[in-house]
Amino acid sequence: MEDTYQDISMLREYVTLQGITLSVWVYYIDGMLVDTGSKTISAQVQAFTEKYRPEQVLITHLHEDHYGMAGWMQQEKGLPVYIHPMSVQSAVHPPVLPRYRELFWGNPASFYPQPLGAEHETNRYRFHVIETPGHASDHVALFDAENGRLFSGDLFLGSKVKICMRGESMPALMDSVRRVLELDFDTLFCAHAGIIPNGKQRLREKLSHLEEIEHTIKEKHRQGWNLREITRFLYPRRPPIYHLSYGEWSPIHIVHSFFQSISQQNYNAYPK
């Protein structure tokens, strides 16, 4: 499904596996694609690409639902692809995916990206590249200061966090949200939630929610509760993707990331 907003064209598709449905958004602005979607929606992405004929591709982070078609765009269309410098080599040798992710998103081909700098230009726009780790260490957002717009990749997703992937860092994500909230924007373009007209307020709500979770975890930790006890208290139900992913997606990873932060703070408090 295609739509337009201001001068931005969008492709929105849905991927379903074992009763779990996720949406994927690909954005086209002034000759540039922001993310490519997954290989499992290749026909739709190819048609979208043929229609708009982008001149370049920017990947917000190296997850297969965001760069799945980058190899095709580079090999078949000769398009330059840009990504965070730390992921340039990883894109050449993509990681082996767990089976459920391969079924959900497809196995992307390798590609040879160019490293992003602090700014990135199209014909008419200059975007500020904002480092926003947390969901992924290489995650970036694109800030269009002239028009108050933010292409946020997976920074937002929703105002409440109920589950995350193994390896995500909630403290780092909170710092990234705080960094972005210092920018002057309103509309947010999310890779899975779509267009958020009041995006800055929704990000404030997400930060407030995470701060409440952090406070609860620290209080329970001080009272001697362990990781699993706190997880069961905060998240008594496991969503379906927990079982599908064999625990790679789990609420326990939210709590664990705060535990790691608490341990580091305690370590830093000791004289060296």
Question: What's the pTM?
Answer: 0.93
Residue 124 has pLDDT above 70, yes or no: yes
User: Range of 220's domain?
Assistant: 214-267
Q: In whole angstroms, give the CA distance from residue 256 to residue 166.
A: 9
pLDDT, tens digit (0-9, with 9 covering 90-100), for 171-182: 999 999 999 999
Same domain, 19 and 104: yes
Query: How far lies 136's CA from each of 107, 164, 224, in Å?
Result: 19, 11, 30
Same domain assignment for residues 198 and 232: no
Given 184, 205, 226, which residue is the final one in a domain? 205
Mean pLDDT value across residues 20-33: 97
Q: Which whole number is the average pLDDT over 25-44?
A: 98
pLDDT attached to residue 263: 66
Token pair belonging to 216: 């609860």
pLDDT above 90 coverage of the chain, percent: 93
Strand 187-190's sheet: what is its strand order? 119-121, 126-131, 140-144, 149-153, 187-190, 194-196
Residue-averaged pLDDT of the chain: 95
For the segment 216-246, what is each residue's pLDDT rounded down to a tens digit? 999 999 999 999 999 999 999 999 999 999 9
272 inside domain:
no
pLDDT at position 261: 78
- 154 assigned to some structural domain: yes
* pLDDT (0 to 100) of residue 265: 56
CB 201 within 8 A of CB 152: no
Q: Is pLDDT at 266 greater than 70 in this prediction?
A: no
Average pLDDT over residues 160-166: 96
- DSSP of 10-56, one letter per residue? EEEEEEEETTEEEEEEEEEETTEEE----GGGHHHHHHHHHHH--SE
pLDDT at 271 over 50: no
Based on the domain organization, do 260 and 163 belong to the same domain? Answer: no
CB of 20 within 8 A of CB of 51? no
Domain boundary pick from 180, 205, 230 = 205
Whole-number pLDDT of residue 93:
93
> Residue 262's pLDDT is what?
78
pLDDT in the model for residue 264: 60
> If residue 201 lies in a helix (H) or strand (E), which one and from where to where?
helix 199-222
- Tokens representing 70? 């980058």
Residue with tokens 């199209």: 122
**Judgement on whether residues 234 and 201 belong to the same structural domain of the protein:** no
